[in-house]
């Protein structure tokens, strides 16, 4: 018999869902139209701000968030055949970021504007077909990935477009 035993872990109560059945039903339900409208409105405002070159950083961050979530939803199988269009939208955001860093201009080229418009359209389509649970998981995955990138754990060849979801990892 050993002289001492391993110390026990401290007890930390975990959150308990009062009604797990209702939680499961809510996560399996599609995103309701009012909630979908509140999610689409900022994306459309960001796109309009970038289209007119008046949105600045808030518009760029809003589109970066939308395209990051769209990428995660596509990886989860929702409109996954549109991943090339989502990647083109992210490429356009990266090009706009680089252009703004060198020239200070927020002007989009025609192909970049088309890519962002297509990306926003497919994101709206994804929101019509995803469940609340899938959307929640995609947003949390984006928050975790951005937090890791900010902590310096991004791969060397990664393109990091950090939006407003950046500092809210939970």
pLDDT at 20: 85
pLDDT tens per residue across span 37-78:
999 999 999 999 999 999 899 999 999 999 999 999 999 999
Residue 40 lies in a domain: yes
Domain count across the chain: 1
Residue 26 lies in a domain: no
Residue 15 lies in a domain: no
Tell me which residue has tokens 């080229």: 109
Count of Cβ atoms closer than 10 Å to residue 77 Cβ? 10
Least Cα distance to 83 among 64, 70, 96 occurs for: 70
Question: 5: pLDDT confidence band, cut at 50, 70 and 90?
Answer: confident
Q: Whole domain around residue 52: which residue ranges?
A: 32-150
This prediction's pTM: 0.81
Taking every pair of Cα atoms in the chain, the longest distance, rounded to a whole number of angstroms, is 76
Question: 169: pLDDT confidence band, cut at 50, 70 and 90?
Answer: very low
pLDDT at 150: 79
- Measure Cα distances from 115 to 17, 18, 146 in Å: 42, 44, 23
Cα angle: 61, vertex 86, 141; to 5 degrees: 65
pLDDT tens per residue across span 10-28:
888 888 878 889 889 988 9
Flag whether pLDDT at 166 surpasses 60. no
Residue 161 lies in a domain: no
Residue 18, both tokens: 């009062």
Question: 165: pLDDT confidence band, cut at 50, 70 and 90?
Answer: low
pLDDT tens per residue across span 82-130:
999 999 999 999 999 999 999 999 999 999 999 999 999 999 999 999 9
Residue 24 lies in a domain: no
Q: CB of 127 within 8 A of CB of 31?
A: yes
């Amino acid at each position: 018999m050993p002289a001492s035993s391993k110390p026990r872990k401290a007890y930390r109560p975990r959150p308990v869902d009062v009604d797990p059945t209702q939680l499961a039903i809510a996560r399996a339900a599609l995103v309701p139209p009012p909630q979908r409208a509140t999610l689409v409105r900022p994306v459309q405002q960001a796109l309009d701000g970038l289209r007119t070159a008046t949105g600045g950083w808030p518009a760029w961050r809003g589109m970066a968030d939308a395209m990051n979530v769209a990428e995660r939803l596509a990886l989860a199988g929702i409109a996954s055949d549109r991943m090339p269009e989502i990647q083109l939208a992210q490429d356009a955001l990266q090009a706009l970021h680089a252009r703004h860093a060198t020239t200070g201009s927020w002007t989009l080229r025609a192909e970049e504007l088309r890519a962002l418009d297509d990306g926003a359209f497919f994101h709206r389509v994804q929101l019509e077909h995803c469940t609340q649970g899938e959307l929640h998981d995609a947003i949390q995955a984006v928050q975790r990935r951005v937090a890791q990138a900010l902590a310096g754990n991004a791969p060397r060849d990664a393109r990091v477009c950090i939006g407003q979801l950046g500092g809210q990892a939970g």
